[in-house]
Amino acid sequence: MQHSSSFSLSLFYLLFLSTTTTSYAHNITQILAKHREFSTFNRYLTLTHLASEINRRQTITVCAVDNAAMDDLLDKHLSIYTLKNVLSLHVFADYFSSKKLHKITNGTTLTATLFQATGEAPGTTGYINITNTKGKKVGFTTEDNNGHFSASFVKSVQEIPYNISVIQISNIIQSSEAEAPVSAPSEIDIIDLMTNKGCKEFAKLLENSKITKTFTDIMENGLTVFCPIDKVVNSFLPKYKNLTKNGQTSLLLYHGIPDYHSLGMLRSKNGFINTMATTKGKNNKYDFSVKNDGDNVKLDTNIVTAKITGTLLDEEPLAVYKIDKVLQPSELFKAQSIINNSEDTAPEPSSGGDDDGDVPADATADKNGAMIMSANGWLMTFILSIGLVFV
């Protein structure tokens, strides 16, 4: 049972600990942590992953509301995805200091929000109308407001010109569009997605190994998957079959990162990144390094260097990219790499067929093997699920 416990440890690790840390110019979580009246708002910025989006951006304004105003919002029992839309309407893609708010040219302006930027907002409903109303008040409302401002400026919380301005507003800005129900990203079927967009062989491996659930379970908290194209998966099959069941699972998990990374985030990241196969043990790092060369993003495992060649989906919290090589972790292929490095770093032989899926000679044998493997894989997932309940 040793592998199952280390495996569940890895799940524990990836579900409850953040595996990647990046430093940014500002940290909204820290800024708001100094003010207890914003603790609920702060917590929901983290839960919806808006905090990392805010930290990543510059020239931004965050409209915080106090705990009482957040309670009113939470009383509506919206799903976390809808809450994300509502809160993203409170993040402006422009810098508004208190002074600037009170000195708007002609007393009124429209500003784009993160809700607009996500593409979730129908039409221009992701814009906020800021108006200097009578009595020197600054009002905030969605565009179609009939002269009604649901929230007004209270005070400045912190200004870091011109990176981030955090202000307090009186209430949540009302928007029926932002509060509309949204479908959960976990309803996205990654197997279907890969199958239809050029990664059907990799999708088959995932499905046969019954670890798809491991991916979908963490999807809503952020997931990035790299799927090798069919041609390279086919030529890799003999090596894959040679691995133990445990090794196969690790290899597949190695193609996922338990966190959302847009292409832009990957481009700005040079360094090691943990994967879903990473466990705490020192011999199970299962990480690889992200390297950027011009616009190309390369993933270097020490055994192979794969290149991102396409995007199947990039919708926070889920990103799926196509890569031109199977990622071979040094934990599984180390011995071979020391004995003969050239074989592994050279381009994969394409004898296994092309993108249209010429069936490799050993496909039948592989199917049988996969079937046996999937039965055990299911059992393992089951044990793990139980394990997680007790964690």
Please identify which residue in 39, 221, 238, 355 interacts with ligand NAG, judged by CB under 6 A.
Answer: 238
Measured distance CA(323)–CA(325) in Å, rounded: 6
Task: Tell me which residues in 111-140 interact with ligand NAG (CB under 6 A).
Answer: 129, 131
Question: Does 368 sit near ligand NAG (CB under 6 A)?
Answer: no
Question: Does 262 sit near ligand NAG (CB under 6 A)?
Answer: no
- Choice between 29 and 309, CB closer to ligand NAG: 29
Measured distance CA(154)–CA(158) in Å, rounded: 13
Cross-strand pairs, 306: 299
Nearest to 52 by CA among 27, 87, 84: 27
Q: Closest approach of Cβ 56 to ligand NAG, in Å?
A: 9
Q: What number of CA atoms fall less than 13 Å from residue 135's CA on the CB side? A: 4
Instruction: Specify the pairing of strand 288-293 against strand 296-300.
Output: antiparallel
Q: Which stretch binds ligand NAG (CB under 6 A): 151-159, 178-186, 226-234, 236-244?
A: 236-244
Q: Which stretch binds ligand NAG (CB under 6 A): 2-10, 19-27, 37-45, 380-388?
A: 19-27
Please identify which residue in 29, 98, 158, 284 interacts with ligand NAG, judged by CB under 6 A.
Answer: 29
The two three-digit tokens of residue 207, written as one number = 């499905």
Measured distance CA(143)–CA(132) in Å, rounded: 15
CB-closest chain residue to ligand NAG: 25
Q: Which stretch binds ligand NAG (CB under 6 A): 2-10, 21-29, 182-190, 220-228?
A: 21-29
The size of the interface with ligand NAG (CB under 6 A), counted in residues, is: 26
Measured distance CA(57)–CA(163) in Å, rounded: 8
Task: Tell me which residues in 328-367 interact with ligand NAG (CB under 6 A).
Answer: 340, 342-343
DSSP 283-341: T----EEEEEETTEEEEE-SS-EEEEEEEEEEETTEEEEEESS----HHHHHHHHHH-H
| Binding site residues, ligand NAG, CB under 6 A | 22-25, 27, 29-30, 55, 58, 105-106, 108-110, 129, 131, 145, 147, 160, 163, 238-239, 242, 340, 342-343
